[in-house]
Structure 1
Amino acid sequence: MGCVQSSGREEAAGKVEEPPKAYSWDRKDKVDPADFTLEGLRGEEAGRVPGSINGQQFIIQNCQSSQIFLLDHINTITIDDCSDCTIFIGPTTGSVFVRDCQECVVVGACGQFRTRDCCRLEVYLLCQTQPIIEASSKMKFGCFQAFYPQLKDHFSKASLSVFNNNWSNVYDFTPVDGETNWSTITQPSALPHAFPLPRSQLLASVGLSVEEESSVVPYTLGSPQYHGQEAALVILFHDNDQHHKATTFIAALRSQVVDCRIQHSREVKMEAVDAVRVFQGSEHKAAVSQGPVIALLCLGTGVHQACTTLARDMGAYVTPDSSIGLRQIDSFFSYASMSMTM
């Protein structure tokens, strides 16, 4: 009996206790909310450089007379209780929500944009859906225009298209009879005058520009009607080089048509039945099935002939220079508008 008991004690003493299992979710780096918050700034310049936000949520609150630059891609952002500030917001996958702010200039790109209880904001925007204002007044909206070397990559990481911009299609959730709570800014020179660039060495070194000529987002006029002007809708079908083709097309068109303007740009997925309705035939059913199309509504003297010539080398479609073409333009943007809410 004594020998048996001794053997059991020796086995117990020889056992090595195994450490607890470590799972991948236990090894995640802890996020410090302070790294993703700017609060209580007074007459200061502050921000984040590429790689410092990296798709996290961000908060800006209770800032006055300050310049803020978030030069990275972001998940969602809220801006609360700020006044007399200029704020640059890098590509944001989800929502930008601005509340209780006044006398600010905001430049941003996002999936959704909303304001509540705001007054006298200038917003230069790229928005994939319809911007919404609520209980807000004296709002001005313009087209996003910006460049820094990593910006195109940040758009990709945020899953935003530079060609799908609904900046001027604003919905006022609380309209007031006899008053207009928002208006549009259609001069690309307005943003450089309203938005000072970074001065601190760290932020300035990123190379931010807000000039139209260098912007990665095409400058569009937005909502004003195009009827009565020479117009052409150009459709670039999906392939691996589609975005480059669209950018090259716009640059070439502007060099050929002195008064060229891009009224709208959209990137949307079309079903075969939608292609038949828009193009009034089945010729392009196979092409739209390959992926999203990029559409550019171009205006200017001689723009239709110039678009037709350029599109021939790119395999793009240009609406006819006739009443049929105008109906196709209306039909496409009616479909694009509906697709935003789906």
Structure 2
Amino acid sequence: MGCNISYLFSRDDCTGKDLTIGNGINSGSSKPQGYSWDQKRSEQDVSMFTIDGLENGEEGRLPGTVNGQQFQIKNCKNSSIYIFDWSNTITIDDCTNCKIFIGPVKGALFVRDCADSTLVSLCGQFRTRDCKNMDIFLHVNTQPIIESSSKLRIGCLQFCYDSLPEHMKLAALSPWQNVWWKVHDFTPPDEGKNWSKLSSIFKVKDCLPKPQLDRLKVLHTSSEQVDSVIPLTTGPSKSNDNSSEASLVAIFYNEKQSELGRECMKKMETVPGVNLVRTALLKVRKADSERHFPDWKDKVETGAVLCLQLGGIGAQTVASEFATAERNYVWISKNDPNKDIQALFGLAEMALGF
């Protein structure tokens, strides 16, 4: 929004002639004056940013076609929809029995009055209202919010397509900041819950079919864990929060930080029963490091710290072996892992405003 100021008369600095600005017409010519914002608006095809009334069909957008604009999906039934691009905000309204993929959304993804559908998405914020019976695979950098919704099953997104890492950077989304499991329900029931975690046996590939349109099939996509840009996390639970087999791995800022995080994950995957519970990428203040992690005080000022919580039998062994190989940049919890985990992710939640 802003102020709209109209000047009735101005003067051409080159000719000295008066120009009539209020009606956009030069007093010396009958030709209307053009404005850059009008030209930009007229050049955009509004239909490129809306999918409305699709039934029993398939539709989608390729990289470069949305390019950070707002997008709407509404009134669709029995259809598959794919947005392989980044956007500013997206609204999905009144869709039933649909399978929808949404690429990185810089701001909020709003889902309203939808039912019996599958949604796979990456976004900065996630909101539902009046939705029911949905499977949702999510990567979200802030706390998901649901309202007046029921029978929602939410899990960790696993997906990749050409240009996804680039689109995530444009949308300012970090692959290491995914709190899909920390759902806040504005309208909780008296008994039970309106949402549940999707079991690990449910995979994106089982719920979201690959595109069949020729113009969409040219894009390489994968929902396999090994290809996913997003780390697979289980989310905290009573079992892994209280487990004696837990470890916190901290990787201090360096040019190989993200690469080292993925190397730790690969090592973890070689040990059955060890899971990646959650991750965080956060800037730790020196005062907080001195209070909770004295060993960090000389390292936190260089940049954000990447933290991984490992859980399950063998977690401490995996962390110890990884830290030994990368001792210059890696710290692991030793004496009281659960205390360190609570302290670190408490700082992470404060940073996110929980």
- TM-score normalised to structure 1 length: 0.88
2:47 maps to 1:34? yes
Distance apart, 1:26 and its partner CA:
6.6
Aligned to 1:261: 275
In 1, Cα distance between the equivalents of 2:219 and 2:93? 26
Aligned to 1:6: none
* Shift in alpha-carbon separation, 1:121–1:229, aligned structure 2, 3 A: farther
Distance apart, 1:271 and its partner CA:
1.0
Tell whether the 8 Å contact from 2:158 to 2:225 is kept in structure 1 after alignment: yes
Tell whether the 8 Å contact from 2:76 to 2:96 is kept in structure 1 after alignment: yes
* Shift in alpha-carbon separation, 1:215–1:229, aligned structure 2, 3 A: farther
Which residue identity lines up with residue 288 of structure 1 in the other structure?
A: V
Which residue identity lines up with residue 63 of structure 2 in the other structure?
A: P
Distance apart, 1:106 and its partner CA:
0.3
- SS of the residue corresponding to residue 104 of structure 1 reads strand
Distance apart, 1:163 and its partner CA:
0.7
Aligned to 2:258: 243
Tell whether the 8 Å contact from 2:54 to 2:79 is kept in structure 1 after alignment: yes
2:95 maps to 1:110? no
Aligned to 1:317: 331
Aligned to 2:193: 180
Aligned to 1:94: 107
RMSD: 2.1
Tell whether the 8 Å contact from 1:188 to 1:212 is kept in structure 2 after alignment: no
Aligned to 2:340: 328
In 2, Cα distance between the equivalents of 1:232 and 1:90? 32
Tell whether the 8 Å contact from 1:126 to 1:165 is kept in structure 2 after alignment: yes
| Residue ranges of structure 2 left out of the alignment (5+ in a row) | 1-16, 18-27
In 2, Cα distance between the equivalents of 1:224 and 1:294? 21
- SS of the residue corresponding to residue 276 of structure 1 reads helix
Aligned to 1:9: none
Distance apart, 1:205 and its partner CA:
1.5
* Shift in alpha-carbon separation, 1:26–1:262, aligned structure 2, 3 A: same
Distance apart, 1:229 and its partner CA:
4.3
Which residue identity lines up with residue 235 of structure 2 in the other structure?
A: G
| Residue ranges of structure 1 left out of the alignment (5+ in a row) | 1-11
Aligned to 2:23: none
In 2, Cα distance between the equivalents of 1:126 and 1:277? 31
Tell whether the 8 Å contact from 2:286 to 2:301 is kept in structure 1 after alignment: yes
* Shift in alpha-carbon separation, 1:310–1:177, aligned structure 2, 3 A: same
In 2, Cα distance between the equivalents of 1:185 and 1:229? 25
Tell whether the 8 Å contact from 2:243 to 2:312 is kept in structure 1 after alignment: no
- SS of the residue corresponding to residue 103 of structure 1 reads strand
Would you tell me which structure has more strand in proportion to its own residues? 2
- SS of the residue corresponding to residue 220 of structure 2 reads coil
| Alignment size in residue pairs | 322
Distance apart, 1:248 and its partner CA:
2.1
Which residue identity lines up with residue 278 of structure 1 in the other structure?
A: H
Aligned partner of 1:285 among 270, 289, 297: 297
- SS of the residue corresponding to residue 216 of structure 1 reads coil
Aligned to 2:287: 273
Distance apart, 1:240 and its partner CA:
2.2
Aligned to 1:307: 319
* Shift in alpha-carbon separation, 1:23–1:242, aligned structure 2, 3 A: farther
Of 71-80 and 221-230, more deviation after overlay is shown by: 221-230
In 1, Cα distance between the equivalents of 2:317 and 2:180? 28
Instruction: Please list, as runs of the form range in 1=range in 2, the aligned pairs for 1:9-48 lying within 5 A after superposition.
Output: 28=40, 30-48=43-61
In 1, Cα distance between the equivalents of 2:236 and 2:247? 16
Tell whether the 8 Å contact from 1:188 to 1:219 is kept in structure 2 after alignment: no
Q: Deviations over 1:2-58 (max 9, x none)?
A: xxxxxxxxxx9xxxx899998865764633321100000001110001111111111
Aligned partner of 2:84 among 71, 74, 79: 71
Of 94-103 and 171-180, more deviation after overlay is shown by: 171-180
Instruction: Please list, as runs of the form range in 1=range in 2, the aligned pairs for 1:156-235 lying within 5 A after superposition.
Output: 156-187=169-200, 189-225=202-238, 226=240, 227-235=242-250
Aligned partner of 1:51 among 50, 57, 64: 64
In 1, Cα distance between the equivalents of 2:143 and 2:116? 23
Q: Deviations over 1:274-326 (max 9, x none)?
A: 222331x2x31232122221111112332212212212333211111x3x222
In 2, Cα distance between the equivalents of 1:177 and 1:294? 38
Q: Which runs of structure 1 show a deviation greater than 6 angstroms over 4 or more consecutive aligned residues?
A: 17-24
In 2, Cα distance between the equivalents of 1:199 and 1:43? 13
* Shift in alpha-carbon separation, 1:61–1:239, aligned structure 2, 3 A: same
In 1, Cα distance between the equivalents of 2:86 and 2:201? 24
Aligned to 1:8: none
